Structure 1
Amino acid sequence: MPNNSVVLRVPVLGIIGCGRMAEAMLSRLLVDGLLPEQVWVSARSPQRQQYLAETYGVKVTTNQEVATAEILLLAVKPQAFADIEVELADAEVARRAGIVVSIMAGIYSGRLRQLFPQRLIFRAMPNTPAQVGAGVIALASDSAAGELEIEKIKSLLGVLGRVVAVSEGQMDAVTALSGSGPAFIALIVEALCDAGVAVGLSRSLTQELVYGTIAGTVQLLNERALHPAQLKDAVTSPAGTTIAGLEVLEAAGVRGTLMQTVKAAYERAQALN
């Protein structure tokens, strides 16, 4: 049965830029008990607008009307935010009280507060696994927000996965690590799958083995509270297959390359500000 408590915690939700991530949140909130009539959304293309209205029964309207919602989710690309600023700059709705939750990378709360001076500002960074409810969502709360407002936003974002509290100063690092991280992991997964095929396994069997190995390794690390080095050493026996493979990884500088990858993503996130 739907969790009707969610309805009480989220009285009205407005979404500007209802793309894939925002749609994932919308669909899960509706399953949990949020009513379609409590949600107003905007989208750029007429096809997208029609899809959202027909699929979810929500009200699709202008950015200015969406901005009247008590909780406003900003989910446009960071590069498109300047257009939103121009559109809402002189609109009275931007000066109403309420809450703004931004999932835009690189747009700091100070800039958001200039547009929404009377609202509490929250910044969140979900990652792609949030589309299946398995994400990690970093949340930086407004210093003026009370416990009730913070719990309300945690409940809103919690349908996407685990919510982790961070400071806004950490948000660029979060973007680089967990925001971009799924792409880095997917590249590693793809390479392992190709390696399985190279040593004679079928593609379907290789994918089953690789996906299961990665999921199981993460579960073991979590449930046993192991440091990754502990698990690595437990798998590595003298003169065995694992140490032979690890030697190749270390010679290729994989450890350092991954660190530099995250640092490059971090620098790019800072450049978006």
Structure 2
Amino acid sequence: MTTLGVIGGTGWLAGALLRPALTSGFISPSNLVLSSRSGGADGFEAWSDIRFTTDNAVLAAACNVVILSVRPEDLGTLDLDLSGKLVISVMARVKAKALMDRFGTGRIIRAMPNASAEQGLSFTPWFATSEVTVKDEAFADGFFACSGKTTRLKAENELDYFTALTGSGPAFIAAFADVMIRDAVANGVSLQVADAAVRQLFLGAATWMAHASESPAETVKVFTDYGGTTAAGLTAMKAADIETPIRKGLAASAKRAATA
């Protein structure tokens, strides 16, 4: 029987991952222990059998799988013996070797979900060390599948790039949407209408693209070749070199993720 403990369990990311897993029945509330500084149950009122604690050692003693969902800067406050346990980290920048050395276990999985997890729309790549068992892998993949799509990576350093590409991606899309909203307002559209229009645009476009047979590049070519109003906008964006800032943003985020 798997008993899962989540350190930082009432934080936003842990909650976004846990609530879909609880709702689907992948995790039983009675087999879940959450620790936080407050020990509160905010966001989990629907599951009265979950245990809450402020003591990470109590959590470690009760669980055979431990998820680390804290800021990398807070890792130094965790002084725990997790030998013999599966440790799953959703922290950026902290390498598997550092986790092995700190917690005394070779069974480490590092994963990088994103802010769309609660809606079941995250893309979560994960990497497993050599001591991780087939059962461990199945648990991790099943857990993250509750909140979207998953893929296993062959090399840990790939996680640094995915931290930028999909881990940070929702914020990058939000930055693009913000520019569109502000431009609409500058052109006389009310903020309320502009916000609603752009949110619906991104929802519709993302849904359409997820199911389209064409690649994004092929879609751009179709509209550009058509030569209409969309082509005019795409041509202007290309002339302004829209590609370089995007690549620079991904590179900067990936570089930060690679910095221990």
Confirm or deny: 8 A CA contact 1:77 1:104 kept in the other structure: yes
Counterpart-to-counterpart distance in 2, 1:43 and 1:183: 26
Matched with 1:270 is 258
1:79 pairs, out of 73, 80, 104, with 73
Bigger CA drift: 215-224 or 27-36? 215-224
1:180 pairs, out of 168, 172, 180, with 168
Confirm or deny: 8 A CA contact 2:20 2:118 kept in the other structure: no
Counterpart-to-counterpart distance in 2, 1:55 and 1:238: 52
How far does residue 20 in structure 1 lie from its aligned partner after superposition?
Answer: 0.7
Counterpart-to-counterpart distance in 2, 1:206 and 1:234: 27
TM-score (norm 1): 0.84
How far does residue 231 in structure 1 lie from its aligned partner after superposition?
Answer: 0.7
How far does residue 187 in structure 1 lie from its aligned partner after superposition?
Answer: 0.8
* Alignment of structure 1 residues 32-47 onto 2, 5 Å: 32-33=24-25, 34-44=27-37, 46=38
Matched with 2:5 is 14
1:247 pairs, out of 226, 230, 235, with 235
Q: Give the counterpart letter for 2:22 in structure 1.
A: L
Q: Give the counterpart letter for 1:80 in structure 2.
A: D
1:158 aligns with 2:110: no
Q: Is the partner of 2:132 in helix, strand or coil? A: coil
1:110 pairs, out of 85, 97, 118, with 97
1:51 pairs, out of 26, 42, 58, with 42
1:98 pairs, out of 57, 60, 85, with 85
Confirm or deny: 8 A CA contact 1:15 1:41 kept in the other structure: yes
Counterpart-to-counterpart distance in 1, 2:21 and 2:215: 35
How far does residue 158 in structure 1 lie from its aligned partner after superposition?
Answer: 1.4
Q: Give the counterpart letter for 1:224 in structure 2.
A: A
Counterpart-to-counterpart distance in 2, 1:239 and 1:233: 10
Q: Is the partner of 1:144 in helix, strand or coil? A: coil
Matched with 1:60 is 52
Q: Give the counterpart letter for 2:6 in structure 1.
A: I
1:210 pairs, out of 198, 215, 234, with 198
1:127 aligns with 2:121: no
Confirm or deny: 8 A CA contact 1:53 1:60 kept in the other structure: no
Counterpart-to-counterpart distance in 2, 1:238 and 1:258: 25
Counterpart-to-counterpart distance in 2, 1:119 and 1:143: 8
TM-score (norm 2): 0.88
How far does residue 209 in structure 1 lie from its aligned partner after superposition?
Answer: 3.4
Q: What is the total number of aligned residue pairs between the two structures?
A: 254
Confirm or deny: 8 A CA contact 1:138 1:174 kept in the other structure: yes
1:147 aligns with 2:139: no
Where do 5+ consecutive residues of structure 2 fail to align?
none
Matched with 1:198 is 186
Q: Give the counterpart letter for 1:124 in structure 2.
A: A
Bigger CA drift: 116-125 or 184-193? 116-125
Residues 79-108 of structure 1: CA deviation (Å, up to 9, x unaligned): 100111xx22xxxx422x121100010111
Confirm or deny: 8 A CA contact 2:181 2:194 kept in the other structure: yes
Comparing both structures, which one devotes a greater share of its residues to helix? Answer: 1
Confirm or deny: 8 A CA contact 2:6 2:35 kept in the other structure: yes
Where do 5+ consecutive residues of structure 1 fail to align?
1-7
Q: Give the counterpart letter for 2:69 in structure 1.
A: A
Q: Give the counterpart letter for 2:158 in structure 1.
A: Q
How far does residue 195 in structure 1 lie from its aligned partner after superposition?
Answer: 2.4
Counterpart-to-counterpart distance in 1, 2:217 and 2:140: 36
| Structural RMSD (CA) | 2.2
Change over 3 Å in CA distance of 1:182–1:111 after alignment to 2 = same
